[in-house]
Amino acid sequence: MRITGKKASFDGESKLFCETLIVVWEGTDGSGKTTLMRSVEGLLSARGYHVETYKTPGETQTGRFALEYGNMQGIDGLTRMLLFAANTADDSKFIRMQIERLRPHFEFIDRYYLCSIVYGIAVLKTRHSKAVNVEDAENVLGVFEKLGEDVFVKPDLYVIVDVEENVRLRRAKSKSSKTSSADFSYELDSSLQEEVRKLYRLLVERRSIRAIWVDNVENKLKENAVSVADKLMELRQSML
């Protein structure tokens, strides 16, 4: 497990933001991303670090609308991508306020604008037969970051979490059987999730983002959490 991608630059944010390492957690549905994030949070807290978290979509008007309308059957992939991207932009003011008010050592964001892009491209390719690829994801990411440089907080690092497809699918099916009100068609779609997995992997390999890739093998949660926590502490120390 190693950090790859563009070197983090801290010149674009204020000195206050330089006190906080901003980590965005991404990955396939059912990969155990949030569970791993919480485990790392616990380890860092036990070592004396202050960790704050924010999960998108948030409990905002745009967040509720993105979930309700964006996940409806028949919604086209572009509309869905833009809805969730709009929510991450809208939620950014609350993330920024959280950092400015609480000054944590680490800010963990559970999915951010990259997720909207990756899933949007994957949906357009698998469900709408659009000829889109990782270059399109990189181009959209560049546009979002340029136009949203005064809106989005700048991630210092991504943690991309994945797991074997049979494990992921089993978890998704278990979750869908317990919750009747939500639409799980995206989580249960293995071809879509494989495209999501492929896009994340290519973005990491092409160094389009600075990231740690975690193969979240079953029964390795503690081991993975310790490894990620160590990497984050090293990175924060180098930042300071």
Per-range mean pLDDT, top range of 5-14, 52-61, 65-74: 52-61
> Quick one: DSSP state of residue 60?
S
pLDDT band at 7 (very low <50, low <70, confident <90, very high): low
The single residue listed with the structure tokens 């490894």 is 227
pLDDT tens readout for residues 95-153? 999 999 999 999 999 999 999 999 999 999 999 999 999 999 999 999 999 999 999 99
Domains in the chain with CATH codes = 21-239 (3.40.50.300)
DSSP state string for 107-161: EEEES-HHHHHHHHHHHHHHHH-----HHHHHHHHHHHHHHTTTTS---SEEEEE
Instruction: Determine contact, residues 145/209, Cβ cutoff 8 Å.
Output: no
Q: Give the C-alpha separation, 61 to 74, whole Å.
A: 22
- Is it the case that residue 220 has pLDDT exceeding 70? yes
CB neighbours (10 Å) of residue 21? 26
In the chain, % of residues over pLDDT 70: 92
3-state class of 169 per DSSP?
Answer: helix
* Reported confidence tier of residue 12, pLDDT bands at 50, 70, 90: very low
With a CB cutoff of 8 Å and minimum separation 6, the contacts of 240 are none
Describe the crossing of helices 165-178 and 190-205 by its angle, rounded to 10 degrees.
130
Which residues does residue 162 pair with via DSSP β-bridges, in sequence order? 215
The rounded distance, in Å, linking the Cα atoms of 217 and 164 is: 7
Mean of the pLDDT values across residues 215-232? Answer: 96
pTM to 2 decimal places: 0.92
pLDDT at 187 over 70: yes
Position 9 pLDDT exceeds 50: no
Take residue 70 and report the two structure tokens written for it.
């964006």
